Chains A and B, each alone.
Chain A
């Protein structure tokens, strides 16, 4: 029963977004295109005949404040061009609420697992203690810090919490993150030295093209370009590699990935292939 409810909700939600996106503007109205009144402001074709929107557009006394592919706003009313559009904001807000609920699932599960680690005195419980301390200080500091711009008042609790928040965020978190990303550059050089070996033709082609693109990106490439003849310009060769062979390969990859993503989306939407218990 629960599974079926989830399936129905997933299907209806998917159908809503699909129809809202796919249905052309003006579908809610009598669908006769009016060639005399093309909508020059938008790419969507506007249909006008015997409906509220037509009355608005054809009435010179009505002041059209805003006209887009989705709605027409006058001084006193808004007419949506797609019957699903008016509720789009509410549905999106509902998604926001769902996401907010899901946001707590991760921290709650992690905290339970770390707490278990401490209570059962398992190996590595000191790391769990560090996690718990950081979590508590982080929550208190974030909730109690002074959000007013300017130097904090060190004598007040809010001021101390502001300093704590800054120390956690800028002093620890930021430094850790930047250091870990900075280390990538060292591993990159190490990998280039040890792993990028010229074993066959494919790796040779890759190495030559990568070298041309990399030299083309450096100031050395620009200096060399000024000395080299027209037919040997590194910048042009680098651009050619990026725009011709690279584009062909990337398009093939994107086509394949999009096909896979489409199939995965369809399976999710129609709740196909779920494990039966």
Chain B
């Protein structure tokens, strides 16, 4: 390879990062405005596990959703919550939602209320929002443990300050025995649901977390401690494929896919440029 070619290739390594930022911006935004059809996504066993566990929920039990994400993880977690709630209302499952993050209830309301209103779900009978629950001593383990033992003692009111005893659904939901499964959605869902919810109280636990956390939580799916896992936009898209409801997950999946492909391309370009520059230094 002559010096001229090496010189051109080495410029790939010293490329101004602003060009990369521009390309990323275009790749992330373009699929949102262009009429690109939703991709066909094959569901992984972890997503199938969540779907099957929801299907096995008996009528006399509820599904508990721990939705504690906020603006930082909104792009991934909002879709993770939306696809799950869409499935619950489609299959007529009753659910209770709460947050252990003070910012989260606003976002929960923004996702859950439009879906339940559209599906004709009655608040207090088909679903309940407990709002923000402060973990005792800022300790998530105590929150999970106490919630599983006596939910009414931990949180006697719902988000509207209505006593739980006045809500028909909550009259039958008092402890872990009345809960079929827990679905924790967060950037990094608390492991205490596994150590206390699953091991101590026998709850079925599924997580919806950021894609970057998938390698960490996959261990618990493998060991059977998590009945399922939805990771980032990919997890959302897989779940939407299973439920047959196209939502936010598939809409952003193309952007997500383009972004990941460009990261791989950046690694390749950076390495070509780096090796060309190194080769040039050796020759000169």
* B244 interfacial contact with A, CB 8 Å: no
Tell me what chain B mostly uses at the interface: helix, strand, loop, or mixed. Answer: helix
B171 at the interface (CB under 8 A from A): no
Q: Dominant SS at the A interface?
A: helix
Q: Is A272 an interface residue (CB 8 A)?
A: no
> Would you call B257 an interface residue if the criterion is a C-beta within 8 Å of the partner chain's C-beta atoms?
yes
Q: B267, A247: Cβ atoms under 8 Å?
A: no
Tell me the complex Cα distance, A190–B21, Å. 8
Q: List the A side residues contacting B266 at CB < 8 Å.
A: 189, 192-193
* Residue from A88, A174, A207, A219 in contact with B254 in the complex, judged by beta carbons closer than 8 Å: A219
Partner of A69 from B201, B261, B271 at Cβ < 8 Å: B201
**Chain B residues with CB below 8 A from A32, complex form:** none
Interface residue B263 (Cβ < 8 Å from any Cβ of A): yes
Contact B137 A99 (CB under 8 A): yes
Asked if residues B270 and A196 are in contact (CB atoms below 8 Å), the reply is yes
Question: Inside 8 A of A246's CB, which chain B residues have their CB?
Answer: 215, 218-219
Closest Cβ–Cβ distance, residue B50 to chain A (whole Å): 16
Which residue of chain B is the closest to A85 with respect to CB atoms?
Answer: B149
**A119 at interface, CB cutoff 8 A:** no
Distance in angstroms from A216 CB to nearest chain B CB is: 9
- Known interface pairs A88-B149, A177-B72. Does A189 touch B262 (Cβ–Cβ under 8 Å)? yes
Instruction: Give the distance to chain B from A145, nearest Cβ to Cβ, in Å.
Output: 13
Picked from A178, A194, A214, the residue with its CB within 8 Å of the CB of B264 is: A214
Q: Assess the B270–A194 pair: CB atoms within 8 A.
A: yes
B40/A222 in contact, CB under 8 A: yes
B residues in contact (CB < 8 Å) with A: 13, 15, 17, 20-21, 24, 28, 39-42, 44-45, 70-74, 134, 136-139, 142, 146, 149-150, 153-154, 174-177, 200-202, 211, 214-216, 218-219, 222, 234, 253-254, 256-257, 259-264, 266-267, 269-271, 274-275
> Which residues of A are in contact with B by a Cβ distance under 8 Å?
21, 41-43, 66, 68-70, 88-89, 92-93, 95-96, 98-99, 173-174, 177-178, 181, 185-186, 188-190, 192-194, 196-198, 207, 211, 214-215, 217-220, 222-223, 225, 235, 239, 242-243, 246-247, 250-251, 254
> Which 10 A-B pairs give the minimum distances between C-beta atoms?
A95-B137, A219-B39, A218-B257, A92-B136, A193-B270, A193-B266, A192-B266, A177-B71, A95-B136, A250-B219
